């Protein structure tokens, strides 16, 4: 009975789909852009200020894969910037997916942090991403487009790490907001919302800590087999962007098992 094993696994399922990658010019974003771009997705790469880097990535994607891609810059905490991001995506077609990599490590000693430091971390790590997700979901629903949103948290939001309150608390709030949005926007033609929580990865905000030796003990104590790579995260994002996906309201921690093992 050949039909019993007639499973469907679509290849190049993102081909022609429009994706907005906010904060997409950094290491994790760039890996995701390459993975999606070579599959034929149409991309908008957003960045806070380093437009030259975003344009360099866009040029690489056009040259290597023939990707339709635009680069835009601005702070997603600002209404006008979010409109500009979404309008840039609209020039490529109906928005299908948003991946928001945006964030800041908020490296301020908790004992000396004041209201301003906390406010800044909240704006960058929570308010901006949540508002962009809200606006993207509204745009998808307005256009009658089912789609997927992937927000970025951190392993520090799903496990306890001393000294991480400035950064971890807003990222934990982001997880809760994402789950509420997944509930609100679900349904047959709805928008799926999920969260990726990276661990110690050789890209983005963790790279400086790796280079400073902050996480060497995790290797020495065999808590993790190796440091994470951008490709590890990009593959998970690609899973969550899969059209007709069956996962929503979830958090996937990509940390090599660090948060489930004893840490000295």
Catalytic residues: 167
SS3 of residue 23 by DSSP: coil
Strand order in the sheet with 147-152: 69-73, 42-47, 18-22, 95-100, 147-152, 191-198, 251-254
Contacts of 105 (CB under 8 A, 6+ apart): 167, 205
Tokens for 252? Answer: 């996937």
Write the CA distances from 124 to 76, 104, 113, 127, 167, integer angstroms. 8, 6, 16, 6, 10
Q: Name the region of 159 (left: φ>0; alpha: ψ -120 to 50; beta: rest).
A: beta
- DSSP label at residue 56: H
- DSSP label at residue 228: B
Dihedral pair phi/psi, residue 156, rounded to 5°: -70, -10
Largest alpha-carbon pair distance within the chain?
A: 69
Check the CA dihedral 180-182-187-189 and report its sign. Answer: positive
* Sequence-ordered alpha helix ranges (H) in the chain: 27-38, 51-65, 79-90, 115-122, 128-142, 165-185, 206-211, 216-220, 230-241
């Amino acid at each position: 009975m050949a039909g019993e094993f007639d499973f469907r696994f679509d290849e190049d399922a993102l081909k022609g789909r429009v994706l907005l990658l906010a904060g997409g010019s950094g290491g994790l974003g760039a890996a995701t852009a390459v993975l999606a771009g070579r599959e034929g997705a149409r991309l908008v790469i957003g960045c806070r200020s380093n437009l030259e880097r975003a344009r360099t990535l866009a040029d690489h994607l056009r040259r290597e894969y023939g990707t339709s891609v635009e680069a835009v810059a601005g702070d997603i905490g600002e209404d006008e910037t979010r409109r500009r991001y979404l309008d840039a995506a609209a020039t490529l077609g109906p928005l299908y997916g948003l991946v928001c990599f945006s964030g800041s490590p908020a490296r301020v000693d908790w004992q000396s942090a004041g209201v301003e430091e906390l406010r800044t971390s909240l704006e960058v790590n929570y308010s901006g991403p949540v508002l962009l997700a809200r606006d993207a979901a509204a745009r998808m629903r307005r256009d009658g487009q089912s789609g997927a949103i992937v927000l970025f948290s951190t392993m520090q939001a799903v496990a306890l790490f001393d000294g991480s309150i400035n950064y971890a608390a807003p990222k934990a709030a982001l997880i809760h907001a994402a789950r509420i949005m997944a509930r609100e926007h679900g349904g047959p033609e709805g928008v799926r919302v999920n969260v990726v929580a990276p661990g110690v990865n050789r890209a983005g905000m963790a790279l400086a800590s790796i280079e400073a030796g902050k996480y060497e003990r995790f290797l020495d104590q065999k808590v993790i087999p190796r440091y994470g790579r951008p490709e590890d995260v990009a593959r998970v994002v690609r899973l969550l962007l899969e059209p007709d996906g069956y996962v929503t309201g979830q958090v996937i921690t990509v940390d090599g098992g660090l948060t489930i093992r004893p840490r000295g």
